[in-house]
Structure 1
Amino acid sequence: MYGQLGDGTSDSRSSPVLVPGVTEVKTVAAGESFSLALREDGTVMSWGRNLYRQLGHGDPGNINIPPAQVEELTGVVAVSAGANHALALREDGTVWAWGDNSYGQVAGEFDWMLQFVPGQVPGLSGVTAVAAGLSHSLALREDGTVWAWGSSSNGQLGNGTTGRFQNIPEQVPGLTDVVAISSRGWHSLALRADGTVWTWGHDILSQVGSGALHLVPVQVPGLTGVAISAGSGHSLVLSGDGTAVGWGANRQGALGNGESNLHLTPARTLLPCRFTGMPSWEHRASARGQSQASP
């Protein structure tokens, strides 16, 4: 509808199409109606809807914008796309953001307005991973702490507050030894080095796992994993044996368990998942001989 497929049309597709002019891609990220591609040379390409200037390359158009390089951004090692804003992690451990800043999710001295091109998020260094939610943002630092900024309308910041907006990152209390983070809608997940999974935020669809709003991180009971992923209304965890479990909304079969009913607690999927080798954070921990790791 908005050109987020990058094929020069606004048509929906039921089969994959090639995005022209985007090559040597390392990883990709999909926002609500725009797309990002991180290239091997550390530059970022974007295309799709640009109403909130989430493409970061100054194009004055609003929809069906063809792929173009995000301005003033090099040395990028990871990207994350929120609803209408984007985050980039550079190799020096700094975080850069652009797009909609209505709730402070882009951060910095941007006057809560649209950020047309990437700007550095203040007060963050030594970052190893980023995650963009609907209207908030997360950063994982190499010391295993998690930092959040943006909207806390549903407890997304994990600091015990609601109805608060903040444009400066603050540490999420009670979380240490974190190795991975994930956020999509109004809730977030954190994976600790011991394999335990922690979650907080909006839980109207039980995506946090209890049916109640959580203003601070809580452990998902009886569950350990090696990878996590937060959807807009559900959550998934990959176990070390290659199986996956999920909980939350399931109306379109998002949990993969052959049912369509909401799940308050983790439910195992029908099919095993496969992964090759250890996650990158385990490799790094092994190489350093440390118990704490970072993705």
Structure 2
Amino acid sequence: MAEAGIYVDSGSISQKVIAVAAGEAHTLALTGDGSVYSWGRGTFGRLGAGSVADRLFPAKIEFNSADTRKRVKIVELSAGAYHSLALSDDGSVWSWGHNTYGQLGVNGENSMVPSLVQVFHELHTPSSITNESITKTATKLQISSIKAGGMMSLAIDNLGSLWMWGNCPPQDTLPEGEFSLIKTFTPIPIWNFHGQTVVKVACGNEHIVALVSYGEKHKGDNLVCYTWGSNNHGQLGLGDTEIRTTPKIVKTFGQDSFYTAYEVACGAFHTCVLTKQKGDMVKSLCWTFGLGDHGQLGQGTIEDSFYPKIVEGIPENEWLISVDCGLFHTSVVSSDGYVWSWGMGNGLGLTESDGVDALTPRLIPCNGLKCPYFQDPIQVACGAAHTVLLANGGYKLWSWGRGRSGVLGNGQVNDFFAPSLVLWPPLEEDFKDHEKVDAEKDSREIIKIKKELNDAMKEIDLLNSKLSTMEHYANILHGLIFGRPLEEDKDVVMSLKKSLNSFDVAKEWENMLEGCDYGKLVHLEMFYGKMLAGVKDKMMKVKIKEMIMECLKTSKSVHH
């Protein structure tokens, strides 16, 4: 439902955003017609725009399919730190941006435009790879969900199997106390969930969290939470800091738990899980664990937490619909449109803010006390130091936090400590609509505006010419009166600044003489002495000339 007083064309699915994603300093938006827009920092080609230039507001990304007859329609997107992923309606995976660790799923350089992850067209699901007879008749692999983390990428296929590539946690046993990520350019399957269905997944810099059915199929509340990878801050929620190379169930969200997890998000070294009471769709809770040095756990302290703990300060009657984690901050949004953030920079993720971290949830109002909530919220997404909220049923985007490189999409590069509107829909879309409706009228207007601009430029050139002439004469006049050329604004006398009508040359001359030292006075005496001598000489010459002319006249009259 649109905000009161604002008209929204519900049929315009090209202008309705259905999902957003945020990377380290870039943002992605997916529209109802399957188009993707990007803005923010362009380094490594993470915007998919064919260059490394920054974008200050949303611009469309082009997906070039081998089949030119078919338009690529994107249904899901995700952003890692410096790379991006997109999933099309036919199950194809597209990637672009940074690829040092193989997070694009190809063994090559960074990609500045979306490229197809070809390997998924050649593989079958993990459960069928070990059986040749099944492999021959197996259904072609189709990816159904994607997720990008720090420097890694994840995907879930149509049978609920999980794949990963990029800078990933190892799957083999490591020497005690050692941990190192494994670089892989080719998606590899996670074998540990055979006979189960992976439903949702998230990843931080070095750890992975997955919501998996404890039966073969996902049915209602039968989800449990698995974690694995680095655990130096307790981000696995297993009660210790030991590394896990294989997935382990977090008991708080296990099969026998009173709670069931339905959303999960990861920061660099912390984890956030949303749960509900089993069989209850009214009450939800937010749990956090892992690194807490900037208050990103929202537990009123900067201590790490090895176990999941409930985040206090969010009203119990609020149903939380979305959660995401930045580098060192966390944000959630409720179905009523209330947004809470906590962590670095007062919950904004900013390192250059007032230095105060929010250790407990801080309400982020839409319009101050006048309107503290956002209408029809859909999703919240966190970058390293910025947050994006999709609201108004998909027709408005709000952003706040670090603004450099245009990551907020509002056309500016400044930090914003309160929500600001993203420039949506894109200006180019508005122009297209106008061209369709009033092409001739717009053309005439453009010609008229160009003519007016041309006339205005001519007038400006004429005024500049006159100004130059006036400045020239002002210099001459100043030199004659005060004995030296005009030196910018400091030589413009006060009485002239106040009013041209009150300018008193005699008074200003007296003021100048009072401010001169002996050397300057001698200089002025010599200057005006020469000038006076010249004037007297000229007067004498004129007087002699007049006397001669008078004599000539007298002589002529006598002769006659």
TM surpasses 0.5: yes
Alignment correspondent of 1:79: 201
Q: Compared with structure 1, are the counterparts of its residues 34 and 197 closer, same or farther at alpha carbon in structure 2 (3 Å cutoff)?
A: same
Alignment correspondent of 1:148: 288
| Structure 1 SS opposite 2:406 | coil
Counterpart among 287, 311, 314 of residue 172 in structure 1? 311
User: 1:109-167 CA deviation, whole Å, 9 max, x = no partner?
Assistant: 5x4132212111121241111111111101101231011110111101111001x1222
Measure the CA separation in 1 of the matches of 2:360 and 2:291. Answer: 14
Measure the CA separation in 2 of the matches of 1:204 and 1:191. Answer: 17
Q: Work out whether residues 205 and 234 of structure 1, in 8 Å CA contact, stay in contact via their aligned partners in 2.
A: no
Measure the CA separation in 2 of the matches of 1:235 and 1:217. Answer: 15
Alignment correspondent of 1:282: none
Alignment correspondent of 1:249: 402
Q: Work out whether residues 326 and 349 of structure 2, in 8 Å CA contact, stay in contact via their aligned partners in 1.
A: no
Alignment correspondent of 1:159: 299
Q: Which has the higher helix share?
A: 2
Query: AA paired with 1:231?
Result: G
Work out whether 1:196 is the aligned partner of 2:338: yes
Unaligned runs of at least 5 residues, structure 2: 1-99, 121-140, 175-179, 214-221, 254-258, 277-282, 367-372, 427-560
Q: Compared with structure 1, are the counterparts of its residues 207 and 247 closer, same or farther at alpha carbon in structure 2 (3 Å cutoff)?
A: farther
Query: AA paired with 1:28?
Result: I
Deviation at 1:184, TM superposition (A): 2.6
Work out whether 1:231 is the aligned partner of 2:383: yes
Q: Work out whether residues 101 and 114 of structure 1, in 8 Å CA contact, stay in contact via their aligned partners in 2.
A: yes
Q: TM-score, normalised by structure 1?
A: 0.83
> Percent of pairs identical after alignment?
28
Work out whether 1:214 is the aligned partner of 2:358: yes
Query: AA paired with 1:226?
Result: I
Q: TM-score, normalised by structure 2?
A: 0.45
Measure the CA separation in 2 of the matches of 1:40 and 1:57. Answer: 26
Alignment correspondent of 1:289: none
Deviation at 1:107, TM superposition (A): 2.1
Q: Compared with structure 1, are the counterparts of its residues 118 and 129 closer, same or farther at alpha carbon in structure 2 (3 Å cutoff)?
A: same
Deviation at 1:256, TM superposition (A): 0.4
Alignment correspondent of 1:67: 187
Within-5 A mapping of 1:2-13: 2-9=101-108, 11-13=109-111
Number of paired residues? 266
Q: Compared with structure 1, are the counterparts of its residues 217 and 188 closer, same or farther at alpha carbon in structure 2 (3 Å cutoff)?
A: same
Deviation at 1:19, TM superposition (A): 2.0
Q: Compared with structure 1, are the counterparts of its residues 61 and 198 closer, same or farther at alpha carbon in structure 2 (3 Å cutoff)?
A: closer
Q: Which has the higher strand share?
A: 1
| Structure 1 SS opposite 2:284 | coil
| Structure 2 SS opposite 1:41 | coil
Alignment correspondent of 2:238: 108
Q: Please identify, of 23-32 and 98-107, the stretch whose mean Cα deviation from structure 2 is larger.
A: 23-32
| Structure 1 SS opposite 2:387 | strand
Deviation at 1:231, TM superposition (A): 0.9
Q: Work out whether residues 321 and 378 of structure 2, in 8 Å CA contact, stay in contact via their aligned partners in 1.
A: no
Counterpart among 175, 180, 183 of residue 325 in structure 2? 183
Computed over aligned residues only, the root mean square deviation of the Cα atoms, in angstroms, reads 2.3
Measure the CA separation in 1 of the matches of 2:206 and 2:405. Answer: 24
Measure the CA separation in 2 of the matches of 1:203 and 1:27. Answer: 32
Write out the 4+ residue segments of structure 1 that deviate beyond 3 Å after TM superposition. 56-61, 204-208
User: 1:226-276 CA deviation, whole Å, 9 max, x = no partner?
Assistant: 321111110011121511010011111111011111111111011238xxx
Deviation at 1:67, TM superposition (A): 0.9
Q: Compared with structure 1, are the counterparts of its residues 139 and 41 closer, same or farther at alpha carbon in structure 2 (3 Å cutoff)?
A: same
Counterpart among 109, 118, 139 of residue 247 in structure 2? 118
| Structure 2 SS opposite 1:126 | strand
Q: Work out whether residues 321 and 379 of structure 2, in 8 Å CA contact, stay in contact via their aligned partners in 1.
A: no
Alignment correspondent of 1:280: none
Unaligned runs of at least 5 residues, structure 1: 274-295
Q: Compared with structure 1, are the counterparts of its residues 61 and 171 closer, same or farther at alpha carbon in structure 2 (3 Å cutoff)?
A: closer
Q: Work out whether residues 119 and 186 of structure 2, in 8 Å CA contact, stay in contact via their aligned partners in 1.
A: no
Q: Compared with structure 1, are the counterparts of its residues 170 and 252 closer, same or farther at alpha carbon in structure 2 (3 Å cutoff)?
A: same
Q: Work out whether residues 106 and 185 of structure 2, in 8 Å CA contact, stay in contact via their aligned partners in 1.
A: no
Deviation at 1:65, TM superposition (A): 4.5
Which of 1 and 2 has greater Rg? Answer: 2
| Structure 1 SS opposite 2:399 | strand
Query: AA paired with 1:83?
Result: N
Work out whether 1:129 is the aligned partner of 2:298: no
Deviation at 1:27, TM superposition (A): 1.5
Alignment correspondent of 1:292: none
Q: Compared with structure 1, are the counterparts of its residues 247 and 69 closer, same or farther at alpha carbon in structure 2 (3 Å cutoff)?
A: same
Deviation at 1:200, TM superposition (A): 0.6
Measure the CA separation in 2 of the matches of 1:17 and 1:270. Answer: 27
Q: Work out whether residues 138 and 147 of structure 1, in 8 Å CA contact, stay in contact via their aligned partners in 2.
A: yes
Query: AA paired with 1:122?
Result: K
Measure the CA separation in 1 of the matches of 2:425 and 2:287. Answer: 33
Work out whether 1:16 is the aligned partner of 2:155: no
